[in-house]
């Protein structure tokens, strides 16, 4: 028997819209519903390999027949979200490109079309799978018709499964729903008759008609009265829930046959939507026939590639001589690990122009010493600009071999980042796919994954050569594309004068690393475990039993079942026990603050105290993190492996962790230099608010000053609580905080929070004008810009989705401030480094934490370094008000 899969397309789209968090394409258009819709289709095709399939959409004016019966049918439903409409149109286009037949019959709901197809398919001896989660469709189930919920594993429902779930067989589902009603469609049903009651009555009396005609046989006076008084509601409900199987549709099996997809059309469609993962999968899963057809469509010309494996000394010298005559050379280092300080060099790829590349293996016939001796002078030649992708990694691996690149000319990851800092995808694989329409070879295909993974040096030279040369080849192509885009967007100077010069400085900081005292942390771990154990005993006493405190499920059982606490919040997976929930309970239930304290200490122990010693390099006895320039949308640096920008400071135990960070040598100290309230100073500069500018020029405490204005009290009478509230408002303004957010932060009602914000704007009127201007400029240009011209594209600011649009407006205000702060600290790093070299100082830069720089300094240089750093940082950019840098000296990070 032929199998026909009938898809509830409208149901898929609605479910995906609300299930998937906000997704947008490069134009700021919502894509979340469409993405989920496509994923459901692809999963269905992968799991069932259907030959016959149809996608059924609700037709225009689809409720008209049922509203004629019952005007309130679906009356309570909100209007379709504005940003779902265009996604439905795209879903139609996807079906067309995928070769999937679709139906969209005017004045007909999808359920009725699906039911009509099911009836026709049964009469023609077919097996029908109704792919939907709509319980109304259970009435169609029989020995040839099945429900298929693709959102669940083993989601096929036959007659037995329907009866198990609802308590009645499929032929009684209409009567069942007529009693219970359907809140989603505003079907009234019988008041007070729930699923359990309906199932029991139908099991006993076998039909709605019998129950309505014999109310006296139903137990309970109230139910009897309902059956008599609301009889008409039940009969109307039956008409509403009964699937109309008389819909006219094409009744030829060939109509439902899946056609070959348009590979070119799908790739273009996915590309416009920024569905890069779907593009990759499209190439990987297309059949040989489709791929051949695709290649014939796009080109009849076979690209000639010249990839060379260098295996003898003569060829090596010829290559070095050729490269020495170039002005720019692309470099790609292959190593055994992604962490540069833990990896061994496997080989180096070189390129000058597209379609040609060379690979020099370090595990082949040539001695590593021979290769290094020949290429070291090349890399140290300042007349040659070297470039690559994520070039700091290559730079570090080569330095492990004693090779220092003298002139870094370009980095495609930094260029991509500057052009699209709002996006998170800057990998070489992604850029090759999006800019060159090419699926790059996957490293996992070479080395495997999981337990079967092997290191790159165990792979054949020919395979690694092909892999590396392809990366080099396409990096040269991408560089040309990105270089042109940078020039067109006016971002070249930002790359060449700021980001690229910063790269070797960050590499030096990573290489120096930072010392941490493992013995100190070990003692701290013992101390912390003692506190955690004591908290566990107290929590078990409140609970009346022992349980796994780290298990949300077990904790929820204790709180909301055993202790009888009313649950304030539910999630898709059950009752929530997150920090917000515990915070809301801590005043009323003594177990809650103990749980919060336990979680805080446990996080400190697992994330820092016990984890940081594992990051210590045994050779240097220091931690070497990675500073990433291409992650944050605002231009801020990120730190990873481990994240040293996130070491706690707000709790006493967190500050103790910082005490473990200290100079490795005796007679050395730390200097911490941080910009004082730099974001608020930038707000004053950018908004040109005269009152805020005056506060900074007078060197006043701006939070006390703001509190004085908001609360109308003299400066000297501002209380600590008033200053705290003013500080929260000051910083909240920078991040676009609204009344609700401020009320949550200050634990006050929304109305009072709104009054705070309004009073703030009444006092600082030009700040309000600045905020409104930021939003308006972004609406017109689609971006926000810093003082140095760094851009963050914000296409979502014109989104039809209110939540997405509001978030975009907050970014439009925040980016000029936080992005400018990021630019300033980077300029400061360049200037401080220049002066350190000029003065021949022994001190070095250790860390950058957003608006703060940490230095490791010999004690005899403390005074000179303090002066040098303060002067350099304060004068790196001239604002309408001075930049102020606070200097702190200590024998460890805590003391700073």
DSSP string computed for 698-754: TT--HHHHHHHHHHT--GGG--HHHHHHHHHHHHHHHTT--HHHHHHHHT--HHHHH
Would you state the pLDDT for residue 573? 60
CB-hemisphere CA count at 13 Å for 513? 18
248 torsion bin: left (phi>0), alpha (psi -120 to 50), beta (else) = beta
CATH number for the region 678-819 comes to 1.10.150.20
Give Cβ neighbours of residue 552 (< 8 Å, ≥ 6 apart).
574, 576, 577
Whole-angstrom Cα distance, residue 762 to residue 627?
42
- 8 A C-beta contact, residue 200 and residue 175: no
pLDDT digits (tens, 9 = 90+) for 800-817: 888 899 999 999 999 999
Can you give the pLDDT at residue 150?
78
Per residue in 510-539, pLDDT tens?
999 999 999 999 999 999 999 999 999 999
pLDDT for 285: 64
pLDDT value at residue 571? 64
Asked if residue 73 has a cis previous peptide bond (ω within 30° of 0), the answer is no
CA nearest neighbour of 351 among 477, 189, 495, 473: 473
CATH code for the part of the protein at 306-489: 3.30.420.10
Question: What phi and psi, each to the nearest 5 degrees, are found at residue 420?
Answer: -140, 60
Segment 684-719, tens digit of pLDDT = 999 999 999 999 998 888 999 999 988 889 999 999
How far apart are the C-alpha atoms of 760 and 709, rounded to whole Å? 8
Q: For tokens 């009849």, what's the residue?
A: 300
In which element (H, E) is residue 887 found? strand 885-890
Q: Phi, psi at residue 189, to the nearest 5°?
A: 65, -165
32: left (phi over 0), alpha (psi -120 to 50) or beta: alpha
Cβ–Cβ under 8 Å, residues 559 and 577: yes
239-259 per-residue burial string, b: 16 or more CB within 10 A, e: under 16: bbbbbebebeeeeeeeebbbe
Instruction: Find the distance separating the first CA and the last CA of the chain, reported in whole Å.
Output: 78
What pLDDT score does 736 carry? 79
pLDDT along the chain (896 residues), means of 10: 94 92 87 95 91 95 90 86 94 96 95 96 95 93 92 82 94 95 90 92 93 91 92 94 96 95 92 90 60 39 82 96 98 92 93 97 94 97 97 96 96 97 91 89 82 85 95 98 97 98 98 96 95 96 95 93 85 78 91 95 94 95 96 94 88 91 96 96 96 91 90 91 90 84 85 89 93 95 96 93 90 95 98 97 95 97 98 96 96 94
Alpha carbon 256 to chain centroid, angstroms:
38
Q: What is the topology classification, in CATH, of domain 3-256?
A: Rossmann fold (3.40.50)
Structure-block tokens of residue 609: 């105290």
Which parts of 747-855 fold into alpha helices (H)? 750-763, 765-781, 802-814, 820-839
The domain ranges of the chain are 3-256, 263-298, 306-489, 678-819
Q: Which two tokens stand for residue 334?
A: 């292959």
The dihedral built from the CA positions of residue 484, 485, 486 and 488, taken in this order, carries a sign that is positive
Residue 581: left (phi > 0), alpha (psi -120 to 50), or beta?
alpha
Q: Tokens in use for 442?
A: 């996957």
- 145-148 and 127-131: which strand pairing? parallel
Express each pLDDT in 424-437 by its tens digit. Answer: 889 999 999 889 98
Rounded alpha-carbon distances, angstroms, from residue 807 to 52, 442, 505, 657 = 43, 35, 34, 35
Q: Longest Cα pair distance anywhere in the chain, in angstroms?
A: 104
Q: Are 258 and 92 in contact (CB under 8 A)?
A: no
CA dihedral 484, 490, 494, 497 (to 10 degrees): 80
Burial annotation 155-192 (CB, 10 A radius, 16+ → b, else e): eebebebbbeebbbbbebbbbbbbbbbbeebebbbbee
Q: Which two tokens stand for residue 665?
A: 């040598």
Q: How many angstroms separate the Cα of 484 from the Cα of each of 351, 491, 682?
A: 19, 10, 32
Angle (CA) 467 472 473, round 5°: 95
Q: Which residue from 701, 699, 780, 767 is spatially nearest to 734, judged by alpha carbons?
A: 767
Candidates 242, 210, 251, 240; CA nearest to 227 is 210
Candidates 881, 857, 878, 860; CA nearest to 869 is 857
| Contacts made by residues 297-306, CB under 8 angstroms, sequence distance 24+ | 297/263, 297/264, 298/264, 303/355, 304/355, 305/355, 305/356, 305/469, 305/473, 306/355, 306/356, 306/357
Beta bridge partners of 385: 328
At residue 288, the pLDDT reads 38
Burial 67-78, CB ≥16 within 10 A → b, else e? eeebeebbeeee
Strands 52-56 and 626-628: unpaired
Q: Phi-psi bin for 867: left (phi > 0), alpha (psi -120 to 50), beta? A: alpha
CB contact at 8 A, 196 and 29:
no
Question: What are residue 103's phi and psi, to 5 degrees?
Answer: -130, 135
Place of tokens 């005007």: 71
């Amino acid at each position: 028997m032929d199998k026909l899969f009938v898809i509830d397309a409208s149901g898929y789209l609605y479910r995906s819209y609300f299930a998937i968090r906000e997704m947008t394409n490069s134009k700021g258009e919502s894509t979340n519903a469409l993405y989920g819709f496509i994923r459901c289709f692809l999963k269905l095709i992968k799991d069932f390999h259907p030959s016959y399939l149809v996608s059924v959409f609700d037709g225009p004016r689809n409720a008209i027949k049922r509203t004629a019966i019952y005007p309130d049918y679906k009356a309570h439903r909100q209007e379709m979200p504005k940003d779902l409409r265009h996604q439905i149109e795209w879903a139609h286009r996807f079906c067309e490109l995928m070769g999937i037949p679709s139906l969209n019959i005017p004045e007909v709901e999808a359920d009725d079309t699906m039911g009509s197809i099911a009836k026709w398919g049964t009469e023609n001896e077919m097996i029908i799978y109704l792919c939907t989660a709509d319980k109304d469709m259970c009435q169609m189930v029989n020995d040839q018709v099945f429900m298929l919920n693709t959102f669940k594993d083993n989601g096929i429902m036959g007659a037995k499964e329907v009866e198990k779930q609802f308590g009645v067989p499929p032929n009684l589902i209409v009567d069942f729903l007529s009693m219970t009603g359907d809140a989603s469609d505003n079907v009234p049903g019988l008041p007070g008759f729930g699923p359990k009651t309906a199932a029991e009555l139908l099991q006993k009396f076998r039909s709605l008609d019998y129950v309505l005609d014999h109310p006296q046989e139903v137990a309970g006076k109230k139910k009897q009265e309902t059956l008599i008084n609301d009889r008409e509601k039940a009969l109307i409900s039956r008409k509403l829930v009964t699937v109309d199987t008389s819909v006219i549709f094409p009744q030829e099996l060939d109509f439902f046959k899946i056609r070959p997809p348009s590979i070119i059309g799908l790739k273009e469609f996915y590309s416009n939507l920024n569905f890069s993962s779907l593009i990759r999968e499209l190439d990987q899963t297309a059949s040989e026939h489709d791929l051949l057809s695709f290649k014939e469509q796009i080109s009849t010309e076979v690209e000639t590639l010249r990839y060379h494996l260098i295996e003898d000394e003569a060829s090596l010298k010829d290559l070095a001589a050729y490269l020495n005559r170039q002005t720019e050379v692309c470099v790609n280092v292959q190593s055994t690990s992604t962490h540069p300080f833990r990896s061994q060099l496997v080989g180096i790829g070189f390129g000058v122009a597209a379609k040609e590349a060379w690979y020099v293996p370090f595990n082949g016939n040539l001695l590593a010493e021979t290769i290094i001796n020949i290429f070291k002078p090349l890399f140290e030649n300042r007349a040659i600009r070297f470039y690559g992708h994520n070039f700091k990694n290559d730079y570090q691996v080569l330095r492990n071999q004693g090779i220092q690149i003298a002139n870094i000319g370009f980095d495609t990851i930094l260029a991509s980042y500057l052009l699209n800092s709002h996006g998170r995808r800057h990998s070489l694989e992604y850029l090759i796919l999006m800019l060159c329409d090419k699926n790059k070879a996957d490293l996992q295909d070479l080395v495997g994954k999981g337990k079967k993974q092997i290191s790159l040096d165990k792979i054949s030279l020919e395979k690694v050569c092909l892999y590396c040369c392809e990366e080099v080849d396409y990096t040269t192509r991408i560089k040309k594309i990105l270089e042109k885009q940078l020039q067109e967007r006016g971002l070249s100077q930002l790359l060449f004068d700021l980001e690229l010069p910063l790269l070797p400085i960050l590499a030096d900081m990573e290489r120096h690393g930072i010392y941490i005292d493992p013995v100190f942390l070990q003692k701290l771990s013992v101390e912390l475990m003692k506190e955690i154990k004591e908290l566990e005993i107290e929590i078990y006493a409140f609970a009346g039993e022992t349980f796994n405190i780290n298990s949300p499920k077990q904790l929820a059982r204790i709180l909301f079942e055993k202790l009888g606490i009313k649950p304030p919040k539910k999630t898709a997976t059950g009752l929530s026990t997150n920090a917000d929930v515990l915070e809301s309970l801590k005043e009323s239930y003594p177990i809650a603050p103990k749980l919060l304290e336990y979680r805080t200490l446990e996080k400190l122990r697992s994330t820092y105290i016990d984890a940081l010693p594992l990051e210590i390099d045994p050779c240097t006895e220091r931690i070497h993190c990675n500073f990433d320039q291409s992650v944050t949308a605002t231009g801020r640096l990120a730190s990873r492996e481990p994240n040293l920008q996130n070491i706690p400071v707000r709790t006493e135990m967190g500050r103790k962790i910082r005490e473990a960070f200290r100079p490795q040598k005796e007679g050395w100290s730390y200097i911490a230099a941080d910009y004082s309230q730099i974001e608020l100073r930038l707000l004053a500069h950018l908004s040109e608010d005269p009152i805020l500018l005056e506060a900074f020029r007078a060197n006043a405490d701006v939070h006390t000053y703001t509190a004085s204005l908001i609360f109308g009290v003299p400066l000297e009478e501002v209380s600590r609580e008033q200053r705290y509230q003013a500080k929260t408002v000051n910083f909240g303004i920078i991040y676009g905080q609204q009344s609700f957010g401020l009320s949550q932060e200050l634990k006050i009602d929304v109305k009072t929070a709104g009054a705070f914000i309004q009073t703030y704007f009444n006092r600082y009127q030009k700040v309000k004008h600045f905020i409104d201007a930021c939003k308006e400029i972004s609406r017109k240009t689609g971006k926000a810009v810093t003082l140095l011209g760094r851009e963050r594209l914000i296409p979502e600011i014109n989104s039809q989705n209110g939540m997405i649009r509001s978030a975009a407006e907050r970014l439009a205000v925040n980016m000029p401030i936080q992005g400018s702060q990021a630019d300033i600290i980077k300029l400061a790093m360049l200037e401080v480094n220049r002066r350190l070299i000029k003065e021949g100082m022994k001190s070095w830069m250790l860390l950058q934490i957003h608006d703060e720089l940490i230095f490791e300094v010999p004690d005899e240089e403390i005074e000179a370094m303090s002066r040098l750093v303060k002067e350099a940082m304060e004068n790196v950019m001239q604002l309408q008000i001075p930049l102020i840098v606070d200097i702190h000296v200590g024998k460890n990070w805590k003391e700073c």
